[in-house]
Every structure is written in C-alpha cells, then in structure tokens.
Amino acid sequence: MEVTRQSFFEGIKLAKEGNHLFEISAAIQDYVESFGYSVVRDLVGHGIGTHLHEDPQIPNFRQKGRGLKLQAGMTLAVEPMVNAGSYDVEWLDDDWTVVTEDGSLSAHYENTILITKDGCEILTLLPEEQKTGVSDAEK
C-alpha cells in the first residue's frame, strides 16, 4: 500500500506546465517496479471536467512517445493501481469488481490534481496532507 501511495507522489513531481503527460506515467512505473511490483495496464487515471471520466487517459505505466503537453488549468485524476504479482486483472460477473488474475494482492491510490505553472495542487487532500503526504488518520 505504501509503495502505491508513494508512486502517486513520485509521478506528480513531474506534473507541471510544459512537461508531458507520460512523464508522470513513467515515473510511477519506475518507482513501483523498483520494489518488484507491477502496475495494472487495464485501468488508468483520467481527465476531470464536466464529466467524471474524460480524456486524457493517464496510464500508470510507460508509453511510447511523450503524451500531450501539460497546461496550467488541466485537472487530472492520477490513480496508480499496483499488484504484488502480475499486472493482469479480470472483471467479475457483476462488471464492476476487478481482481488480480493471479490472486495476488493489489492496492489503489487516487487524488485529483490541478496543473499549475510551478507544479500541481492536490485538490483532494487537506493542506497539511499535501505538505507531508500523510493524513491525520495515518499518523
């Protein structure tokens, strides 16, 4: 769980105007795989706008190319999903529940960010959590 959570913070270090979207993706994957875990390929983060799930898709794994250039004002849901085993997942018959194909443990961590000229603002954390990355509940 901690690797999943920290992979989010590693990714958003690159979330600022002028950088490219897939730099976030690569940073997440590099961090996760350095601990021997895998990143789910079938589920991704997404843009936030007038609808909950919008383009662009935000994979949590390395992509060919650099992806679109980030612009101040973009709002994105970055949500690493990390498996202890293979990155393969499957949907159960309810078409909602997702499980690892090999039965390994999995973790998911998500926040919505606003791209700024100097970095990003995490919109879904309290200000004290943004500084430390730790909530009062986790202390």
How many residues comprise the chain? 139
Question: 38: burial class by Cβ within 10 Å (0-12, 13-18, 19+)?
Answer: buried
**pTM: predicted TM-score of the whole model, two decimal places:** 0.89
The whole-angstrom separation of Cα 16 and Cα 79 is 17
The whole-angstrom separation of Cα 31 and Cα 11 is 9
Query: Residues 78-100: pLDDT tens digits?
Result: 999 999 999 999 999 999 999 99
Q: What is the CATH number of domain 2-138?
A: 3.90.230.10
Query: Residues 9-57: pLDDT tens digits?
Result: 999 999 999 999 999 999 999 999 999 999 999 999 999 999 878 999 9
The whole-angstrom separation of Cα 92 and Cα 64 is 30
